[in-house]
Structure 1
Amino acid sequence: MRSDPIGPVPVLYLAGWGRSGSTLAESLLDRVPGLVGVGEIKFLWERGVLQNRRCSCGTPLRSCGFWGLVFEEAFGGLPDEETARELDAASRRFRTRHLPGLLLRPDSPPDAERLRWYYETLGRLYRAIATVSGARAIVDSSKFPSYLTALLQSPGLDVRVAHIVRDPRAVAYSWQRHRHDPDAPGDARMPRMHPGFTALYWSAWNLATERIARRSGLPYLRFRYEDLIADPGGTLRAITDLGGVPAAEVPVTDAGEVFVPRTHQVSGNPMRMHAGPVALRLDDEWTRGMPTRHRYLTGAVTVPLRHRYGYKDT
């Protein structure tokens, strides 16, 4: 469905540290009329255009009908390899190593003037997504606080921040799991991280997201993964209100499942490739499987932010 957007394009930026449930949240939001979930746009150029990884619809991205229409609308066709490499190089400037600077200067993106061409390209891209999809708002789950500052510099975007958080001990446990990534080059596994480093990143990442949203005066909502599972209807209504679209119920079966159709998400958790029934059940394996030393380490490093988010000591 094509629809030319009038005025700024609303972008619902799904922020939060990795393994916090953003893929599930985006899949549910994609079912809401007026919203379109497009995955981690930050990695569109590297993983989508250059590496030609699969869109979540199952098609290699360069062959995906949806993204083909988006590229045609935005740029007159698929960007050539040189252009894609330049865009990927610009996207790589917005990475985790910028967290310390963002905590001190949350509204100052790196190389703001030299990257003006990049910001203008992003503005064209998001407008094209809105036009091709016919959606009233775009859900981008790039998550990076640094990339959020890039969107704030991009013309024609109305950015709102939906910030998902999850118990840091559950997050640290998830980062320790051995997970196969069927879409990565060389049939690789998803990256793993020591619980101590995960706890530090969880704290800095979430705090930076809060500071950027507050200093920039952005519409902002923080919600917990645990509350999304316990009350999906109420949580989604709060997010859709932030996104400026009418509330809509996502049907949940008596078995606690929701049907997720094929989407067009870029990169992210392999779960995005799944279409069909998805069980809305709390993943609390960490309470039984996490080593005591890792639980105490993660809990100690993440105080007091963990307590402020409602995650008490156990």
Structure 2
Amino acid sequence: MHSDPSSTTRVLYLAGWGRSGSTLAERLLDQVPGLVGVGEIKFLWERGLLQNRRCSCGTPLRSCEFWVDVLGETFGGLPDDATARALDAASRRFRTRHLPGLLLKPASPPDADAMLWYYQTLERLYRAVARVSGAEVVVDSSKFPSYLTALLQGPALDVRVAHIVRDPRAVAYSWQRHRADPDAPGDAQMPRMHPGATALYWSAWNLATERIATRTDRPYLRFRYEDLIADPAGTLAAITKLSGVPAAALPLGDRGEVFVPRTHQVSGNPMRFHTGPVALRLDDEWTTGMATRHRYLTGAVTVPLRHRYGYH
């Protein structure tokens, strides 16, 4: 695949295991001039086009002016269901079950030639997002290490990896909570997972992300959710430096809150629908609400990586 270097689109890929704070991080980054956060692009085809779920602006995606313009520039109009299904099927090839291979082998997905059409579509899509938004950098919070390998196949995409991590015990507790997903069909609940399984995924997911970024020599920054809450200005400055845009002051209120305007995130945590003041306070409910046996189990499974990330 040959691309004109002058048409390279910069992508800031927010990686990390689910429930680690990526939606909050993306909403804050969306306020930095030159950056635009668009949610989990991996699920654009299934949740956005085929299921017509809502954009974070509150409008069903097929009616959202932003996405209508983006898809129109990418495809010449909204793609039909057959095209959306083909793209969704291609995206599903980059899934969690590939984690063992990503930990053991170089980050090169199979059938590169057969998937060329898909990688070229992604290049056009991210370029359209940048043009329609007027941003220099597209922020994608898809998080999957496997999907990161798909983005790395497009030479017209300048991918930088911002890797968010959170205390695995807090993450495991979050995966146990009962939470409604107001945008899922049938008012379904958000997925839940046993702490033991969460701990295994947390370790493999984060380690795979590190290895992919290292093996491909991509610009990479790992940051902690806890540090984002404690020092939002400093943490965001480091991330924006990675993205290549000038740092900008984050307007914080007297009580440590930040005003979040309407965004156009295609998928993610339901908090993406909230606009207005958001308090930047540490969610540490796990320290009192998590069962002792679950805390010890999660801690034991994750201990090597957990200590390296500063969680003792």
Letter in 1 for 2:262: R
- In 2, the alpha carbon distance for the partners of 1:114 and 1:99 equals 22
Partner of 1:130: 130
- In 2, the alpha carbon distance for the partners of 1:138 and 1:53 equals 21
- Matched residue of 1:242: which SS? helix
Partner of 1:179: 179
Q: Is the 8 A contact 1:13 1:141 kept in 2?
A: yes
Q: Is the 8 A contact 1:94 1:110 kept in 2?
A: no
Letter in 1 for 2:249: E
Matches within 5 A, 1:1-314: 6-312=6-312
Q: Write out per-residue CA displacement over residues 157-216 of structure 1, whole angstroms, 9 at most, x where no aligned residue.
A: 000000000000000000000000010011100000000000000000000000000000
Q: Is the 8 A contact 1:119 1:155 kept in 2?
A: no
Q: Is the 8 A contact 1:8 1:156 kept in 2?
A: yes
- Matched residue of 1:263: which SS? coil
- In 2, the alpha carbon distance for the partners of 1:281 and 1:106 equals 39
By how many angstroms is 1:111 displaced?
2.5
Letter in 2 for 1:37: G
- In 1, the alpha carbon distance for the partners of 2:264 and 2:57 equals 6
- In 2, the alpha carbon distance for the partners of 1:69 and 1:163 equals 30
Letter in 2 for 1:180: A
Size of the aligned set, in residue pairs, is 308
Letter in 1 for 2:187: D
- Matched residue of 1:186: which SS? helix
- In 1, the alpha carbon distance for the partners of 2:304 and 2:23 equals 26
Q: Is the 8 A contact 1:93 1:110 kept in 2?
A: no
- In 1, the alpha carbon distance for the partners of 2:37 and 2:130 equals 11
- In 2, the alpha carbon distance for the partners of 1:13 and 1:79 equals 25
- In 2, the alpha carbon distance for the partners of 1:106 and 1:203 equals 18
Which structure 1 residue ranges, 4+ long, deviate > 4 Å from structure 2?
none
By how many angstroms is 1:106 displaced?
3.6
By how many angstroms is 1:244 displaced?
0.3
Over the matched positions of the two proteins, sequence identity in percent amounts to 83
By how many angstroms is 1:107 displaced?
1.5
- Matched residue of 2:277: which SS? strand
- Matched residue of 1:153: which SS? coil
- In 1, the alpha carbon distance for the partners of 2:183 and 2:282 equals 26
Letter in 2 for 1:52: N
By how many angstroms is 1:105 displaced?
1.3
Letter in 2 for 1:59: T
By how many angstroms is 1:110 displaced?
3.2
By how many angstroms is 1:310 displaced?
0.1
- In 1, the alpha carbon distance for the partners of 2:298 and 2:184 equals 29
By how many angstroms is 1:303 displaced?
1.3
Letter in 2 for 1:138: V
- In 2, the alpha carbon distance for the partners of 1:179 and 1:210 equals 30
TM-score where L is the length of structure 2: 0.98
Letter in 1 for 2:224: R
Q: Write out per-residue CA displacement over residues 267-309 of structure 1, whole angstroms, 9 at most, x where no aligned residue.
A: 1100001111000000000000000000000000001100000
108-117 vs 254-263, which deviates more?
A: 108-117
- In 2, the alpha carbon distance for the partners of 1:159 and 1:44 equals 19
Letter in 1 for 2:37: G
- Matched residue of 2:303: which SS? coil
- In 2, the alpha carbon distance for the partners of 1:254 and 1:310 equals 30
- In 1, the alpha carbon distance for the partners of 2:240 and 2:281 equals 22
Q: Is the 8 A contact 1:106 1:208 kept in 2?
A: no
- Matched residue of 2:12: which SS? strand
By how many angstroms is 1:6 displaced?
4.5
- In 1, the alpha carbon distance for the partners of 2:182 and 2:106 equals 36
